[in-house]
């Protein structure tokens, strides 16, 4: 289980990203851009990655590139988390509809 992220000191943008990501359920997968848009900040996909790096306790593994690619520095770890939630990954990518 992931601990709830600490909210003190977060910017409005960071809080919005945290709110959207906390509302996801196991098995949900979002692209960085989708998460940014749902948080009310369309076009801020890159900044979402910064939030995931800075804020502990988020289910970061549910966020992938727009093409389904997993994070380059830990694709196996991300794939393991996703597989535990029923999401299939092959060759470093989420399987669409899988």
Dist CA 8 CA 57 (whole Å): 13
pLDDT value at residue 2: 52
What's the confidence (pLDDT) of residue 55? Answer: 93
Domains by residue range for the chain, with CATH: 12-94 (1.10.10.10)
pLDDT for residue 25 is more than 70 = yes
Categorize the per-residue pLDDT at 31 as very low, low, confident or very high, splitting at 50, 70 and 90: very high
pTM of the shown model: 0.89
Query: Measured in whole angstroms, how far is the alpha carbon of residue 5 from the centre of its chain?
Result: 13
What phi, psi does 64 have (nearest 5°)? -130, 170
């Amino acid at each position: 289980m992931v601990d709830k992220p600490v909210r003190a000191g977060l910017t409005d943008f960071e809080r919005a990203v945290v709110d959207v990501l906390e509302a996801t359920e196991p098995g949900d997968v979002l692209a960085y851009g989708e998460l940014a848009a749902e948080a009310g900040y369309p076009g801020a996909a890159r900044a979402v990655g910064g939030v995931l790096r800075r804020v502990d306790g988020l289910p970061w593994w549910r966020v992938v590139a727009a093409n389904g690619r997993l994070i380059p520095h830990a694709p196996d770890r991300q794939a393991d988390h996703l597989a535990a939630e029923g999401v299939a990954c092959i060759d470093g990518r989420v399987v669409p509809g899988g």
